[in-house]
Amino acid sequence: MTSKTTPSSGTSLTFYGGAGEIGGNKILLQTPRSQVYLDFGESFDFGEDYFYEWLQPRAANGLECYFEFGIVPMVPKLYSRAQLQFTDLPYEKPDIDAVFLSHHHCDHIGHLSFLDEDIPLYLGHGTKTIIDAYHTLFPSLVNIGDHNAINLFKSGDTIRIKDLTVRPIHVEHSTPGAYGFIIETPSGVLAFTGDFRRHGPMKRLTDEFISEAAASKPRVLLCEGTRMTPDPENYYSEEQVYEKVKGIIAKSEGLVLCEFSMCNIDRFNSFYKAATESGRTFVIDTKYAYLLDQLRTLPNLPSPQTDKNLKVYFRLSKSREFSAKDYSSRDRPYMDNMVTFREIHDRPRDYVMFIGFNKLMELVYIRPQKADYIYSLSESFLEGEDNADQRRVLDNWLTHFGITLHKVHCSGHAGKTDLEYAIQKISPDTLVPIHTQNPREFKKIHDNVMIIKRGDTISL
Ligand SMILES: [Zn+2]
Ligand SMILES: [Zn+2]
């Protein structure tokens, strides 16, 4: 394996994103006969150097502004005619055989809307379900654009693309439907972890990927390293999250409020279980009810339409009557399982309620006393300077209603111990750290680590 070459007649990888950064995966695999992308994500710092608040490129201008600042790579035969119409890059028919998506997070799919509609997408059934549900619920936030060839896979499928054989294998992450890939190329096997962890209830999925990858004896492993840092590891499992949440509920003298990522179904289960085992009903909003309904093929998920331990919160409508005519056809199926501010105000100790930052207005009606609020998202929001204003507003709401803040969270990414475990088991000839800010740290656990930066091409 050689590094930093230009694409050759052999097999190569080009890193248009995901190198030297957490997220933004956009990795081109080229062989003598095929070209496929592994993920097509948006970097977390995308556009940050040129755009700010209301200073934003117009969607109608397509890629024009992005090419101006070099923040989307100017690659021919990749983007749609509409995206290229005001740019210097002429439209040509695409020559990409496939884009494989590891999971639905924005840093893995965020730039799909730029792609030519005829490039085939390959994604897991769960990924597609969540993308569709999020698009229905938040159309301006989640929109992958139009695609004429969407191919769905499940774990263990074998997909042939010319001289490539791609096998998606599920992994555990902070969302269902996450995959790694084992890819046979003319130059040997390439394994790609996607985003993964093994400290939650679905650990066996990741372990299945690890053993399949190990058995394939890969020449190269592309391994995510979100939590690879020089600092000591802070190990925290999903089981510990559940225990801690249960402890907070047990001590609470009022309503327990909580916030976590909606698609984090392991986290939903931790809160739902902690609430029901404490004799409380778990409350979600109508959007969350819709998402759960779409995910009903997952095992052991309660039905938001009928489950007795789950209630669906309906906001006060304009008529203030809570009658069907005031709600959309998407919300109405949950009316039989409805709860309102009145019941929660009257019996706060009967409930644990999911409430996002944007829904805090409901507290004006619920008027909680002695409530607790469990923040169960990445701590970077509570501690980062970028969010200081939002944090100030949250603090003001909590202070106003005398609510106690608790932080309980565990990551969707493997810590150092599990990264080391995975890499030693898989034992690739060459290790290429991706999705990390500390690739050099991997040299402590493998003796052939290739450090890449954005734009590099390496030959297999
Ligand atoms: Zn990611
Ligand atoms: Zn992810």
- H/E/C letters for each residue in 94-106? CCCCEEECCCCCH
pTM for this model (two decimals): 0.94
Q: Quote the CA–CA distance of 409 and 241 in Å, as a whole number.
A: 6
How many Å lie between the centroid of ligand 2 and the Cα of residue 169? 15
How many Å lie between the centroid of ligand 1 and the Cα of residue 309? 33
How many Å lie between the centroid of ligand 2 and the Cα of residue 384? 20
How many Å lie between the centroid of ligand 1 and the Cα of residue 223? 11
**Are residues 162 and 29 in contact, defined by beta-carbon separation less than 8 angstroms?**
no
Sequence-distant (6+) residues with CB within 8 A of 150 are: 120, 121, 123, 128
Ligand with the closest atom to the CA of 171? 2
C-alpha of 223 from chain center? 17
The mean pLDDT value for 169-176 works out to 97
Residue that is written with structure tokens 């791609």 in the block = 166
Structure tokens that stand for 227 in this block: 């939590």
Q: What is the pLDDT of residues 207-256, one digit of tens each?
A: 999 999 999 999 999 999 999 999 988 889 999 999 999 999 999 999 99
Q: Quote the CA–CA distance of 212 and 374 in Å, as a whole number.
A: 38
How many Å lie between the centroid of ligand 2 and the Cα of residue 181? 15
Q: Is the pLDDT of residue 51 over 90?
A: no
Question: What pLDDT is recorded for position 383?
Answer: 74
Q: What is the pLDDT of residues 81-126, one digit of tens each?
A: 999 999 999 999 999 999 999 999 999 999 999 999 999 999 999 9
Ion ligand 1 — residues with CB under 5 Å? Answer: 23, 107, 195
How many Å lie between the centroid of ligand 1 and the Cα of residue 41? 8
How many Å lie between the centroid of ligand 1 and the Cα of residue 225? 10
Structure tokens that stand for 243 in this block: 């225990």
Q: Is the pLDDT of residue 424 over 60?
A: yes
**Are residues 194 and 171 in contact, defined by beta-carbon separation less than 8 angstroms?**
yes
Please give, one letter per residue, the 3-state secondary structure of 4-54.
CCCCCCCCEEEEEECCCCCECCEEEEECCCCEEEECCCCECCCCCCCCECC
Q: What is the pLDDT of residues 124-154, one digit of tens each?
A: 999 999 999 999 999 989 999 999 999 999 9
Confidence class of residue 7 from pLDDT cuts 50, 70 and 90? very low
Paired sense of beta strands 310-313 and 178-185, if any:
unpaired
Q: Quote the CA–CA distance of 201 and 412 in Å, as a whole number.
A: 12
Q: Quote the CA–CA distance of 63 and 80 in Å, as a whole number.
A: 10
Mark residue 455 as left, alpha or beta (left: phi above 0; alpha: psi -120 to 50; beta: remaining). Answer: left
Task: State the chain's mean pLDDT as an integer.
Answer: 94
How many Å lie between the centroid of ligand 1 and the Cα of residue 29? 19
Q: Following DSSP, what letter does each residue of 66-80 receive, concatenated?
A: HHHTT-S---SS-B-
Q: Which of 412, 361, 362, 406 is nearest to 200 (CA)?
A: 412
How many Å lie between the centroid of ligand 1 and the Cα of residue 107? 5
Question: What pLDDT is recorded for position 59?
Answer: 80
Ion ligand 2 — residues with CB under 5 Å? Answer: 105, 195
Q: Quote the CA–CA distance of 36 and 28 in Å, as a whole number.
A: 6
The mean pLDDT value for 16-20 works out to 94
Q: Quote the CA–CA distance of 403 and 334 in Å, as a whole number.
A: 29
Ligand with the closest atom to the CA of 39? 1
How many Å lie between the centroid of ligand 1 and the Cα of residue 360? 28
Ligand with the closest atom to the CA of 44? 1
Chain length of the chain: 460
Ligand with the closest atom to the CA of 435? 1
